[in-house]
Chains A and B, each alone.
With several copies, the nearest count.
Chain A
Amino acid sequence: MSRKVLMKGNEAVAEAAIRAGCKLFFGYPITPQTDLSEYMAKQMPNRGGLSLQAESEIAAINMVLGASASGARVMTSSSSPGISLKGEGISYIVGSDLPCVIVNVQRGGPGLGGIQPAQSDYFQATKALGHGDMHLIVLAPANIQEMAILTGEAFDLADIYRTPVMILADGALGQMMEPVDFAAKPVRVLPEKTWVCNGHQNKRPMNIVNSLYIQPEELEQKNIERFERYKKIEETEVKYEEYLTDDAEIVVVAYGITARIARTAVNLARAEGIKAGLHRPITLYPFPKKRLNKLADKVDIFLSVELNMGQMIDDIKLAIECKKPVKHFGRTGGVMPVPEEILDNIRRLAK
């Protein structure tokens, strides 16, 4: 039978994490992410790892902090309300320069909201998952194969840049199945973790993992140093995919599940003779600013399609320096648009 296996997105992330050497997983159930934890609970004991259900999302993220501080590849996952609870912990992880992978299988909000797919945590993920000057790398897979690949990538990025990396998915990507190929992929060269707190064995000076700096100037220096790393990430780690943008007059910008629907819409538009194209950011932070800016020179208008009330649209405007108009089309609260709705919007912009 096929080398590929049919898997839920949640499961593919879990499997890819295990293959990437994730040794510890700390979770807390929440729909539509729960199968990820369940896969881990089933697999980890047989594959040299440990999966533990924490008493809360807060405990989970702090277990991640501890495990990471002591050197392990570690992951946690949740969905929107649970991610909000992790905010303080994530800010500490950033402030302590610790690597880890965090999965957000987004659902409708605010509040308890609903449990259907959404992309309304974009602002939170890209701007402010916690207090203070901080970012995390945010990856947005659009299919199950990518759920797997980007998860592996996430662990490497985390270790290289000593930063948390978020897989920003949604209920549809978490719950749907597609074929996945887990064939080995080249692994990056990783820095040695000399900063780890796992007992100095009297062989090295003690290590401290800490985010407190009583002297403001020291804290400022830390922040500047970290933002220099962000700059490097922006220079070297931006990922995106494009479809029919070469001659496009209207470019739809969409990521994740929405990008797939938009792609169908672009096909429908092309069939009507509208020169539409698709730009799909794969890294949401760093955002593909340069590429979009260049694209803006030849494109007439952009359409940001999101499962929210309008969030990524700001980043597009900033990226293209308002050179061209950017419109928003969104469904929110867990509603997924059909391609025809996006087509309608494309048509309207094509006049």
Chain B
Amino acid sequence: MSNFLFAGFGGQGILFSGKLLAKVGLELDKQVSWLPSYGPEMRGGTANCSVIVNDEPIGSPLVTKPDVLLVLNLPSFEKFEHTVIKNGIMIVDSSLVEKKTVRTDIKAYYIPASMLASDNDLAGLANIIMFGQMLKAIKLFDYSLVEAVLVHSTPKSKPQLAELNKKALSLGYNYQA
């Protein structure tokens, strides 16, 4: 389980989530890579990023067949659902994507992350909630390490932000459909 794809609209914190994962890999002394999609249409278009965390040297940084797919909008759901490998994992923000996967060979987790975020005064942190859910699903990384990296990744100048992030992570981690 080394190839991750994070996909959604621009502005949903897709790139940040990906970077968080890559940093966790870095702390574990793994090979990691992070590649954003980029284009002239960052303006409200879809954004995604490929993250690889591996023991082997990484070849192409582009994830075309994700082991794990995090999806935060419908266009991305439709575009990437079929690319997940057999027995792969898909995490879906069910407050933004009403569809369910038709695939039976992957494991899908539906979490109303955006709704949870607004319900819990965690505006803009749906991505971290999703991340928490993913952590639980993939069972690869130590929770406290992720939490530490997350805290380290938030600006020192805004300590409240670190707390909110921690809360979001835990919310996602502990959410059960």
Q: In residues 44-94 of chain B, which contact A (Cβ within 8 Å)?
A: 57-62, 64
Task: Answer whether A176 and B35 are a contact pair too, CB < 8 Å, given A260-B60, A264-B60, A336-B62.
Answer: yes
The interface bits of chain A over 208-223 (1 if a CB of B lies within 8 angstroms of the residue's CB, else 0) are 0000001000000000
8 Å CB contacts to A: which residues of B15-60?
19, 22-23, 26-27, 29, 32-36, 38-41, 57-60
Contact (A6, B40) CB under 8 Å given A1-B152, A338-B64: no
Is A261's beta carbon under 8 Å from chain B?
A: yes
| A-chain residues with CB within 8 Å of residue B57 when the two chains form the complex | 260, 263
- Asked if A2 contacts B29 (CB within 8 A), the reply is yes
Given the complex, which residues of A lie within 8 Å of B35, measured CB to CB?
172, 175-177
Q: Does A232 contact B (CB under 8 A)?
A: no
Q: Which of B19, B23, B60, B149 contacts A338 (CB 8 A)?
A: B60
Q: A115-B38, A175-B35 are in contact. Are A2 and B59 (CB under 8 A)?
A: no
A172 touches B61 (CB 8 A): yes
CB distance from A169 to the nearest CB of B (A): 13
**A23 vs chain B, min Cβ distance (A):** 29
Known: A1-B27, A1-B152. A177 touches B34 (CB 8 A): yes
Contact between chains at B58 and A172 (CB < 8 Å): no
User: Chain A at the B interface: mostly helix, strand, loop or mixed?
Assistant: mixed
- A214 — which chain B residues lie within 8 A by C-beta? 39-41
Residues on B with C-beta less than 8 A from A339 are 59-60
Q: Would you call A172 and B62 a contact (CB within 8 A)?
A: yes
Give Cα distance in the complex from A256 to B29, angstroms: 23
Asked if A4 contacts B26 (CB within 8 A), the reply is yes
State whether B59 touches A178 (Cβ < 8 A).
Answer: no
Q: CB within 8 Å of B: which of A254-268? A: 257, 260-265
Is A141 part of the binding interface, using a Cβ–Cβ cutoff of 8 Å? no
* Chain A residues within 8 Å of B41, by CB: 214
- The answer to the question of A56 belonging to the interface, with a C-beta cut-off of 8 Å to chain B, is no
Verify B62–A6 contact, CB threshold 8 A: no
Is A66 in the interface zone, CB < 8 Å from B?
Answer: no
Most buried by A among B19, B27, B34, B64: B34
Q: Which residues of B sit under 8 angstroms from A178, Cβ to Cβ?
A: 32-34, 58, 61
- Chain A, residues 331-350, CB within 8 Å of chain B (1/0): the string is 00000101100000000000
A175 touches B22 (CB 8 A): no
User: Which residue among A115, A171, A172 has the maximum number of chain B CB atoms within 10 Å of its CB?
Assistant: A172
Instruction: Tell whether A31 is near chain B: CB-to-CB under 8 Å.
Output: yes
Q: Which residues of A contact B27 (CB under 8 A)?
A: 1-2
| Nearest chain A residue, comparing its CB with the CB of B28 | A2
Query: Which residue of chain B has its CB nearest to the CB of A35?
Result: B38
Q: Closest CB of chain B to A214's CB: distance in Å?
A: 7
Question: Cα distance A141–B29 when bound, in Å?
Answer: 22
Given A2-B26, A177-B22, A257-B61, 12 other A-B contacts at CB below 8 A? A1-B27, A31-B38, A115-B39, A171-B38, A172-B61, A176-B33, A176-B61, A179-B26, A179-B32, A214-B39, A262-B59, A264-B59
**B-contacting residues of A (Cβ < 8 Å)?**
1-2, 4, 6, 31-32, 115, 171-172, 175-179, 214, 257, 260-265, 336, 338-339
**B residues within 8 Å of A by Cβ?**
19, 22-23, 26-27, 29, 32-36, 38-41, 57-62, 64, 149, 152
Could you list 16 A-B pairs, sorted by A, with CB under 8 Å? A2-B29, A6-B19, A6-B23, A31-B38, A115-B39, A172-B62, A175-B36, A176-B33, A177-B22, A178-B58, A260-B59, A261-B59, A262-B59, A263-B59, A264-B60, A338-B60
